[in-house]
Amino acid sequence: MNSPEVVVVRLSSPNRRICATVGAMLDIRAVIFDLDGVLADSEGIHILAWEEIAREYRLPEDRLPLHDWIGYPDAEIVKGVVREHGLSVTPEHLLRHKRRIFRRLIAEKLEPIPGSVEALDELEPLPLGLATSSSRSEAELMLRILDIADRFRSVVTSDEVRYSKPEPDSYLLTAELLGIAPRHCVAIEDSSTGVQSARRAGMTVLAVTNSLPAARLTAAHQIFSSTPEAVGWIRKRVNFTAL
């Protein structure tokens, strides 16, 4: 399958750009979702957890690039925090502590991205997968809270791959578990690292501006303002009678 040509279409709003895929007929056989920021409204909760840690360890919040961490696994983030701020704890200790805080907060605060759970119904019986930088324990907890654990034929977390996003490993493994070639998969992402990961895996990538502005997601083939909009775009292009 030839790589699609990508053009940038400017809309009426100067702050929104959509990358339109042209010159290629998509054969969509599976959809792979990111979790944080695409289905679970959890990116802000991650930030709350890091802010709690900043207060506890007396870290200057203006030196913590919280929004730049969106899409990166905590196991990588803690290494930089410990090193750059000279903390007396190990990265492993800080990671366990951050995860304890995050699990407490999501139990109290987690909600779905508006319309995302309902949008999953629109894709039946298309095979669905999940590729997330969250740990297995965090992902399973979020899926239980949102009551969508049974919607996905394969779930890959940071615990199952050697290299997490922006490397392609998580998306490649998810496609392998689904039994679908990457070129027939569409990925939905909310972070620049996630977009890079899915593109490196050879998938068609849709970005949603739930967490970051469109200007930071231009590597995607298409950019939408919400998860339901992205799902609607897919639905129009799937031959459901062939499934």
Q: What does the pLDDT look like over 157-171, one tens digit per residue?
A: 999 999 999 999 999
Residues 105-150: tens digit of each pLDDT: 999 999 999 999 999 999 999 999 999 999 999 999 999 999 999 9
* pLDDT for 86: 87
* pLDDT for 16: 33
pLDDT(154) > 60: yes
Which range among 28-37, 85-94, 203-212 shows the weakest confidence by mean pLDDT? 85-94
* pLDDT for 13: 31
pLDDT(4) > 60: no
Looking at per-residue pLDDT, the higher value among 86 and 233 belongs to 233
Locate tokens 């000279």: which residue? 86
* pLDDT for 70: 79
* pLDDT for 23: 32
Confidence of residue 25 (pLDDT cuts 50, 70, 90): low
Percent of the chain topping pLDDT 70: 90
Distances in whole angstroms, Cα of residue 21 to Cα of each of 26, 64, 217: 9, 36, 15
Looking at per-residue pLDDT, the higher value among 23 and 84 belongs to 84
* pLDDT for 29: 96
* pLDDT for 236: 95
Average pLDDT rounded to a whole number, residues 184-212? 97
Q: Which amino acid, one-letter code, is at 116?
A: S
Confidence of residue 67 (pLDDT cuts 50, 70, 90): confident
* pLDDT for 110: 97
* pLDDT for 123: 97
Locate tokens 């996003």: which residue? 165
* Prediction pTM value: 0.83
Burial 135-173 (b: 16+ CB within 10 A, else e): beebbebbbebbebeebbebbbbbebbeebbbbbbbbbb
